[in-house]
């Protein structure tokens, strides 16, 4: 089972909530159950200033990893849609019939084919061009060349929802992210 972007969002909030709750344990009189030894060793007995610095660094990392997970879930959904479209001979399948079954096709190639199919003046095409830009940003994040703090999960989530909405309007059988 592959996560969709909704499950990636659920994971984002539950893990972020857990991170924010760790602050309660810094000055606890005893070590709480359920906290890993690694985390316990890192946070137990921190000063308030150390905690704030630690928390901010972990939140920044969390935004980065969650944004990467969100883009991975989106890419997986797009790839599964193409495979389904070809296998079931759904609308626009002929544009993807040459996609290798076991080979690798760049996400940019898939999106550019959709842009061609929809036409360059189509609003959904413009949203897919926006998605191409998001994947350029994702690559910068993944390869460590984007500045820290440039990953903003909730803004990315909103962008993906708008792109998905327009894509489904233009291609009613698009399975979504």
- Would you say residue 101 lies in a domain? yes
The pLDDT tens digits for 113-171 are: 999 999 977 899 999 999 999 999 999 989 988 887 788 999 999 999 999 999 999 99
> Would you state the pLDDT for residue 1?
67
> Would you state the pLDDT for residue 101?
63
Give the confidence band of 100 by pLDDT, cuts at 50, 70, 90: low
Q: Is 89 left (phi over 0), alpha (psi -120 to 50) or beta?
A: left
The answer to whether the Cα torsion of 105, 109, 113, 115 is positive or negative is positive
- Would you say residue 51 lies in a domain? yes
> Would you state the pLDDT for residue 148?
74
Give the confidence band of 68 by pLDDT, cuts at 50, 70, 90: very high
- Would you say residue 176 lies in a domain? no
Q: Higher model confidence: residue 103 or residue 59?
A: 59
- Would you say residue 16 lies in a domain? yes
Q: Which of 131, 130, 159, 109 lies closest to 117 in space, CA to CA?
A: 109
Domain count for the chain: 1
- Note down the domain range covering 95: 5-170
- Would you say residue 177 lies in a domain? no
> Would you state the pLDDT for residue 99?
63
DSSP string, 113-148: HHHHHH-TTSHHHHHHHHHHHHHHHHHHHHTT-SPT
For residues 17 and 25, the answer to whether their CB atoms sit within 8 Å is no
pLDDT at 18 over 70: yes
> Would you state the pLDDT for residue 9?
96
Helix 123-142 and helix 107-118: axis angle, to 10°? 170
């Amino acid at each position: 089972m592959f996560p969709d972007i909704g499950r990636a969002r659920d994971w984002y909030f539950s893990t972020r909530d857990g991170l924010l709750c760790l602050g309660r344990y810094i000055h606890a009189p005893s070590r709480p159950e359920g906290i890993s030894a690694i985390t316990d060793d890192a946070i137990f007995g921190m000063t308030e200033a150390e905690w704030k610095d630690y928390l901010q660094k972990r939140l920044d990392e969390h935004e980065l990893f969650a944004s990467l997970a969100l883009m991975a879930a989106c890419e997986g959904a797009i790839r599964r849609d193409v495979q389904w479209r070809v296998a079931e001979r759904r609308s626009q399948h002929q544009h993807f019939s040459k996609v290798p079954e076991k080979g690798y096709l760049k996400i940019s190639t898939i999106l550019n084919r959709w842009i061609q199919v929809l036409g360059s003046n189509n609003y959904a095409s413009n949203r897919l061009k926006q998605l191409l830009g998001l994947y350029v940003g994702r690559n910068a994040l993944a390869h460590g060349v984007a500045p820290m703090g440039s990953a903003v999960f909730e803004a990315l989530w909103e962008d993906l929802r708008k792109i998905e909405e327009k894509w489904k309007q233009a291609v009613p059988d698009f399975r979504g992210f």
